[in-house]
């Protein structure tokens, strides 16, 4: 299961469906209990992501004919094994 952010992931972890069938989960946002629940995390600096998005927006506003740009923000995968209960 891929989850967009830590709030949605927390909701998944509290669900009956997750309790009955522990599925491999990857979240796009780090949170304290990820390792305890075996949730792998794609970790990046949210300020870098916001800064990159804002820069792209301001560049486009300054020149609406500018071709679309792509920026990559560094991220790392933190693999947490699913604990056995």
Q: What is the pLDDT of residue 64?
A: 93
Q: What is the pLDDT of residue 84?
A: 60
Structural contact between residues 38 and 18, judged by C-beta atoms closer than 8 angstroms: no
Tell whether 42 is covered by a domain: yes
Tell whether 74 is covered by a domain: yes
Q: What is the pLDDT of residue 83?
A: 65
Tell whether 83 is covered by a domain: no
Q: How many structural domains compose the chain? A: 1
Tell whether 85 is covered by a domain: no
Tell whether 66 is covered by a domain: yes
**List of E strands, the chain:** 2-3, 25-27, 39-44, 75-78
Q: What is the pLDDT of residue 22?
A: 77
pLDDT at 85 over 90: no
Which candidate, 51, 52, 45, 13, places its Cα nearest to that of 28? 45
Task: Give the structural domain span for 29.
Answer: 2-78
CA contacts within 13 A on the Cβ side of 44: 16
Structural contact between residues 76 and 43, judged by C-beta atoms closer than 8 angstroms: yes
Tell whether 84 is covered by a domain: no
């Amino acid at each position: 299961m891929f989850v967009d952010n830590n709030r949605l992931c927390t909701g998944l972890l509290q669900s009956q469906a997750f309790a009955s069938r522990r599925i491999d989960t990857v979240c796009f946002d780090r949170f304290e209990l990820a390792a305890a629940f075996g949730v792998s995390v794609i970790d990046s600096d949210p300020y870098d992501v916001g800064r990159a998005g804002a820069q792209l927006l301001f560049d486009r506003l300054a020149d609406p004919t500018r071709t679309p740009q792509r920026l990559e923000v560094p991220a790392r995968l933190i693999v947490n094994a699913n604990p056995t209960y």
